[in-house]
């Protein structure tokens, strides 16, 4: 029996950063992964937006550049053909792409079961024939009849898709549901075994926040993005997702420094606070709080009320900035005047 082949680290492929992405910062080149979220939060629309982006070489969500456009192979298990057509046409129009020439091949069968050997073989032959840049399957629950909570049942399906990715150098995107959960990480809320979360190289998670949709981006080998607010818009010519446009009144406030947060905490307190209380309310590190308090004491803005507690000096209360303005000597907020310095 022959030994397994090996290579030194310096002999491994060196790929420039721009070649690491199928869609810049959103989906890795030849990455497998999941778009996850609760029902009715735009998962299929996002998957189709990615498909149009790859097929036409246009930015996804009108922001994220497509680095390697090419053919897309997709299967929409829950939507009729006329619905898929309408959605793709609306997204193409919003993206400025030519709908009639979209390089997307839609699998036209009523059922595709990845737990059936014959269907896996047919999908493999289709991928081999089309050589897509992206394979999109929506949703996972309609692609099998096994127990999603059983690793032994789900692992062979994920293994098959990983094999397609490696042999045909394609990205694979699954749309999957999340359960209602208090999980601290979105991936932990995916329905079924945790193997699904572990499998993904690039994962996108959608959730509702009030009337908005929030997208979380996660990668195995790259830094994710800050949460992105998106919305489904329809100008009368077809619905498509887009980045949410904030009004002037919704502009994010300027970030506070640690000193500003600590002064604000002390200004709003009705009694002296310990360093531990200040640290918790200001959400700052212990070392930062300690150094800042010492500086504020030297500046004559803070004093020790006891050995372990601190308070603002009365004359400094007038100068205590908050997100809403300044705090007067009675602890009341006063809005910033127009000439108040930024």
In the structure, what pLDDT confidence band is assigned to residue 19 with cuts at 50, 70 and 90? low
Question: What pLDDT score was predicted for residue 325?
Answer: 44
The helix/strand/coil state of 208 is strand
Query: For residue 172, what pLDDT band results from cuts at 50, 70 and 90?
Result: very high
46-50, 181-185, 309-313: range with lowest mean pLDDT: 181-185
**d(C-alpha 239, C-alpha 311), whole Å:** 55
Instruction: For the full predicted model, state whether its pTM sits above 0.85.
Output: no
Amino acid 339: pLDDT: 35
Runs of H (alpha helix) within the chain: 43-56, 81-95, 117-130, 151-168, 195-199, 258-268, 275-282, 286-298, 314-317
Q: Which two tokens stand for residue 126?
A: 């289709």
Position 307 pLDDT exceeds 70: yes
pLDDT above 70 (res 35): yes
Examine the pLDDT at 250 and tell me if it is beyond 60. no
The CA distances from residue 291 to 181, 256, 302, 317, 319, in Å, are 40, 17, 13, 20, 20
Contact partners, residue 318, CB within 8 Å, separation at least 6: 326, 327, 328, 329
pLDDT at position 16: 65
- Cβ pair 88, 80 in contact under 8 A: no
CATH superfamily of domain region 16-246 = P-loop containing nucleotide triphosphate hydrolases (3.40.50.300)
pLDDT, mean over the chain = 86
C-alpha to C-alpha distance for 86 and 90, rounded to whole angstroms: 6
Sketch the domain layout of the chain as residue ranges.
16-246, 258-335
Query: What's the mean pLDDT in 168-184?
Result: 84
Query: Exposure of 152 by Cβ count < 10 A (0-12 exposed, 13-18 middle, 19+ buried)?
Result: exposed
CATH class of 258-335: mainly alpha
Question: How confident is the model over 289-302, as a mean pLDDT?
Answer: 90
Q: Are the CB atoms for 89 and 237 separated by under 8 Å?
A: no
- The pLDDT-based confidence of 283 (bands split at 50, 70, 90) is confident
As a whole number, mean pLDDT of residues 104-109 equals 97
Q: Taken in order 280, 282, 286, 290, is the CA torsion positive or negative?
A: negative
Q: Are 241 and 230 in contact (CB under 8 A)?
A: yes
pLDDT at 10 over 70: yes
Structure tokens at 131: 């050589």
Higher pLDDT pick, 50 / 262: 50
Q: pLDDT tier at 37 (50, 70, 90 boundaries)?
A: very high
Hey, do 16-246 and 258-335 end up sharing a CATH topology, with the first three levels equal?
no
């Amino acid at each position: 029996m022959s030994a397994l082949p090996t290579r030194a680290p310096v002999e491994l492929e060196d790929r420039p950063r721009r070649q690491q992405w199928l869609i810049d910062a959103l989906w890795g080149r030849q990455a497998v992964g999941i778009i996850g979220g609760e029902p009715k939060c735009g998962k299929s629309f996002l998957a189709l937006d990615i498909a149009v982006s790859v097929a036409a070489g246009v930015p996804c969500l009108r922001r994220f550049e497509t680095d390697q456009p090419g053919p897309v192979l997709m299967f929409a298990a829950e939507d009729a053909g006329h619905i898929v057509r309408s959605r793709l046409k609306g997204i193409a129009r919003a993206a400025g792409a030519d709908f009639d020439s979209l390089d997307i091949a839609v699998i036209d069968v009523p059922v595709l079961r990845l737990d059936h050997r014959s269907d896996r073989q047919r999908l493999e032959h289709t991928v081999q024939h089309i050589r897509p840049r992206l394979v999109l399957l929506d949703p996972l629950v309609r692609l099998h009849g096994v127990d999603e909570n059983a690793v032994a049942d789900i692992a062979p399906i994920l293994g098959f898709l990983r094999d397609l990715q490696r042999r045909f150098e394609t990205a694979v995107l699954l749309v999957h549901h999340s359960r209602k959960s208090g999980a601290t990480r979105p991936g932990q809320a995916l329905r079924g075994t945790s193997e699904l979360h572990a499998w993904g190289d690039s994962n996108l998670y959608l959730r509702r926040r009030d009337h908005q949709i929030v997208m979380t981006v996660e990668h195995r080998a790259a830094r994710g993005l800050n949460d992105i607010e998106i919305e489904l818009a329809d100008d009368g010519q077809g619905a498509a997702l887009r980045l949410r446009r904030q009004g002037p009144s919704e502009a994010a406030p300027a970030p506070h420094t640690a000193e500003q947060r600590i002064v604000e905490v002390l200004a709003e307190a009705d009694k002296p606070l310990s360093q531990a209380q200040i640290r918790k309310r200001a959400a700052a590190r212990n070392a930062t709080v300690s150094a800042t308090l010492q500086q504020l004491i030297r500046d004559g803005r803070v004093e020790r009320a006891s050995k372990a507690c601190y308070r603002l000096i009365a004359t400094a209360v007038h100068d205590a900035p908050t997100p809403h303005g300044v705090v007067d000597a009675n602890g009341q907020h006063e809005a910033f005047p127009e000439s108040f310095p930024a």
